[in-house]
A and B are shown apart, each in its own frame.
Chain A
Amino acid sequence: MRKTVFKGTALPLLLLAPQLAITAIFFLWPAGAAIWQSLLQEDPWGMSSEFVGLRNFTEVLAQPEWRGAAYNTLIFSSAVAILAMGTALFLAVQADKSIRGANIYRTLLIWPYAVAPAVAAVLWLFLFHPSIGLVGRALNEAGIAWDYKLNGNQAMLLIIIAAAWKQVSYNFIFFLAGLQSIPRSVLEAAAIDGARPVRRFWTIILPLLSPTAFFLLVVNLVYAFFDTFGVIHALTGGGPGKATETLIYKVYVEGVQNVNLGSSSAQSVILMVLVIALTAVQFRFIERKVHY
């Protein structure tokens, strides 16, 4: 790896300043505010607040609704991660087979990533709406009772698919890069050693992709935790009932609809800690183990 060494400290600081400023304004400040807010109890009109220590946290953790949302999040996140990564890996392997086609694939597959969550949601709505959606109507005509507005499992399935769809492109790019960085001669050596394509995939390609896969797992989990608010909001609004209310969606419900800022902040702080923990695990893992 090449290292650039700066002579003074002024230039590097200047170069870093915009990024530091953005981090401070859009992350550190709101995060600090959330932590402070989570220790306060505000009256419903926002006129006064009192310091309550960790009471918001203990209340949140004891709430059955919060536990329900945590359970939903677990199902949702793991399903999104598995679906998005599995699909992406499959597509990347296909694309890798024909390097010539890889560029077209890449361009086509990156598009979903550029689509805004709400727009993506509308797209899926048009597909799966029970009365106006293409697939939704087809399902109903085929005798399968499809209505995600009534059936919680179907609603969960729908947001999983919609959220995974948006993440496939990101995963695809990384998997494809990972695949293409495996030296061709290593695969050829395996072929000469007698390994057929399927065995090559399981014994050579997949192990060599595992650092990429682990990185993506964390990224996908963090995405499912945080970045899926738009999709859920536009498609199901957390319903029916609370069937698709995930932790991030509950933060919104608590803070914006119920105007319980203390509790909402406590919930977002819990989420923040979760993500920090995930990231820390990732860094340690990368440092310790995987670099071939």
Chain B
Amino acid sequence: MASLDVSGLRKSFGPTHVLHGIDLAVEDGEMIVIVGASGCGKSTLLRIVAGLETATSGSIRIAGREVTALEPAERDIAMVFQNYALYPHMSVEQNMAYGLKIRGLPKAEITRRVAEAAGLLGIEALLGRRPRQLSGGQRQRVAMGRAIVREPKLFLFDEPLSNLDAKLRVQMRAEIRRLQRRLGVTSLFVTHDQTEAMTLGDRLVVMHAGHAAQIATPMEIWARPADTYVAGFIGSPAMNFLEGTLAEGGQAVALKAGPVLRFADGPRAGGEGMPLTVGIRPEHVELAEGGILLPLDLVEPLGSETVLHGRLPGGEALVVKLAGPAPDAPSLPVALPAAALHVFDGETGKRLDP
């Protein structure tokens, strides 16, 4: 159990720059989820922390110890791979004991730790089996077990749940969270699933094209996304973005779609007519008499809620999520509550706060 400090981490594969300077400080016992679209460099980051890839520049410190130049074996970490990477020729028990044997632990201690981890994960009955005789979910548990018995300083997970079916994934997700809390091991968890990210992480790192776009708690990322990428990535259905310009001396935005909305939380700095992007989450759009008329082109009833897709007069798409069923009409009047607006710079996409 330890802290992890990543600073100024860069990585290039030949001419391809994959990571452009990542800084991340993880506290003891914290669970950090790294989330981002495919190819943004999540696995690369994790593998550099593990020592499976070498950093082009930057440093990694685990529990205050500089490990950037060390072999994986010397870092005292454990990793759970997407394909589990169990040793096919060893029984479940041997799989879990392998790392302990290498460390030269006494036999009795190995047996005790393996039994304890097996109990924790409910795989006592599988100890004698080979990996090929296990289901995906069971392999997943064994891979977890192999990590747990090592009692490492750091757990690394690279999309460990993505090969499981939806139901098992939800179950394992909760289980991993409980285990991590209980063992208190500092963890990095890579996923591209935002639900997984929101539910698992103490804090999230939203990665975008090799940059850490935002590092914050799930709620903060949801409530105050740092830029349009993060805003669009977290939340489902994704946030609506509308174009507009700064108006009324910074007090309001003039939307391309027509209305002028006054900011609820104060003026933004910038010249009159500066381009803005205004974001509003679908669940925050309200139905209101006298609002902008939204012609609907798709209605998705999901039972407890309804998702409406329509186009604003300017041609911009707007998605609305309603609690409960939608009124049966070809177009509905909608209002965009000022308090729910997220204001971003129209050019850089960065969040603008009052």
Partners in one complex: yes
Contact A204 B73, beta carbon cutoff 8 Å: no
Digit string of B113-134 for contact with A (CB within 8 Å is 1, else 0)?
Answer: 0000000000000000000100
Contact of A194 among B79, B85, B86, B103 (CB under 8 A): B103
Q: Decide if A257 is an interface residue (CB 8 Å cutoff).
A: no
Digit string of A170-198 for contact with B (CB within 8 Å is 1, else 0)?
Answer: 00000000000001011011111111100
Contact B88 A208, beta carbon cutoff 8 Å: yes
Look across to chain B and name the residue whose beta carbon is closest to the beta carbon of A187: B85
Contact B85 A186, beta carbon cutoff 8 Å: yes
Q: Decide if B78 is an interface residue (CB 8 Å cutoff).
A: yes
Residues of B within 8 A of A196 (CB): 71, 73
Q: How far is the CA of A204 from the CA of B89 in the complex (A)?
A: 8
Contact of A193 among B89, B98, B132 (CB under 8 A): B98
Q: Decide if A292 is an interface residue (CB 8 Å cutoff).
A: yes
Look across to chain B and name the residue whose beta carbon is closest to the beta carbon of A188: B52
Look across to chain B and name the residue whose beta carbon is closest to the beta carbon of A206: B89
Residues of A within 8 A of B82 (CB): 185
Digit string of A138-178 for contact with B (CB within 8 Å is 1, else 0)?
Answer: 00000000000000000000000000000000000000000
Within B226-249, the residues touching A (CB, 8 Å) are: none
Contact B132 A292, beta carbon cutoff 8 Å: yes
Contact of A188 among B85, B98, B103 (CB under 8 A): B85
Q: Decide if B102 is an interface residue (CB 8 Å cutoff).
A: yes
Contact A191 B72, beta carbon cutoff 8 Å: yes
Q: How far is the CA of A193 from the CA of B81 in the complex (A)?
A: 13
Contact A292 B85, beta carbon cutoff 8 Å: no
**Size class of the contact patch on chain A:** 10 to 19
Contact A192 B103, beta carbon cutoff 8 Å: no
Look across to chain A and name the residue whose beta carbon is closest to the beta carbon of B74: A194
Q: How far is the CA of A199 from the CA of B73 in the complex (A)?
A: 12
Contact B85 A191, beta carbon cutoff 8 Å: no
Digit string of A244-281 for contact with B (CB within 8 Å is 1, else 0)?
Answer: 00000000000000000000000000000000000000
Contact B102 A185, beta carbon cutoff 8 Å: no
Contact A191 B81, beta carbon cutoff 8 Å: no
Within A204-231, the residues touching B (CB, 8 Å) are: 204, 207-208
B187 to chain A, nearest CB (A): 15
Q: Decide if B83 is an interface residue (CB 8 Å cutoff).
A: yes
Contact A191 B71, beta carbon cutoff 8 Å: yes
Contact B72 A188, beta carbon cutoff 8 Å: yes
Q: How far is the CA of A60 from the CA of B22 in the complex (A)?
A: 79
Residues of A within 8 A of B85 (CB): 183, 185-186, 188-189
Q: How far is the CA of A203 from the CA of B99 in the complex (A)?
A: 12
Within B66-96, the residues touching A (CB, 8 Å) are: 71-73, 77-79, 81-83, 85-89
A114 to chain B, nearest CB (A): 34
Residue of B77, B81, B86 with most partner-chain A CB within 10 A: B81
Q: Decide if B255 is an interface residue (CB 8 Å cutoff).
A: no
Q: How far is the CA of A183 from the CA of B89 in the complex (A)?
A: 13
Residues of B within 8 A of A203 (CB): 98
Q: Decide if B62 is an interface residue (CB 8 Å cutoff).
A: no
Look across to chain B and name the residue whose beta carbon is closest to the beta carbon of A184: B85
Known A185-B83, A188-B52, A189-B81; contact A195-B73, beta-carbon cutoff 8 A: yes
Residues of B within 8 A of A199 (CB): 102
Q: Decide if B50 is an interface residue (CB 8 Å cutoff).
A: yes
Residues of A within 8 A of B50 (CB): 188, 192
Contact B87 A186, beta carbon cutoff 8 Å: yes
A1 to chain B, nearest CB (A): 15
Residues of B within 8 A of A186 (CB): 85-88
Q: How far is the CA of A203 from the CA of B95 in the complex (A)?
A: 11
Contact B89 A190, beta carbon cutoff 8 Å: no
A174 to chain B, nearest CB (A): 18
A168 to chain B, nearest CB (A): 26
Residue of A185, A186, A193, A207 with most partner-chain B CB within 10 A: A193
Contact B89 A208, beta carbon cutoff 8 Å: yes
Q: Decide if B150 is an interface residue (CB 8 Å cutoff).
A: yes
Q: How far is the CA of A185 from the CA of B84 in the complex (A)?
A: 8
Q: How far is the CA of A183 from the CA of B50 in the complex (A)?
A: 18
Contact A192 B77, beta carbon cutoff 8 Å: yes
Residues of A within 8 A of B77 (CB): 192
Residues of A within 8 A of B103 (CB): 194
**A183-B83, A192-B79 given; 14 more Cβ-contact pairs under 8 Å:** A185-B81, A185-B82, A186-B85, A186-B87, A186-B88, A189-B81, A190-B87, A191-B52, A192-B52, A192-B73, A192-B78, A194-B99, A194-B103, A208-B89
Could you show 14 A-B contacts with beta carbons less than 8 Å apart? A183-B85, A186-B85, A188-B72, A188-B81, A191-B72, A192-B73, A194-B73, A194-B99, A195-B73, A195-B98, A196-B73, A203-B98, A208-B89, A292-B88
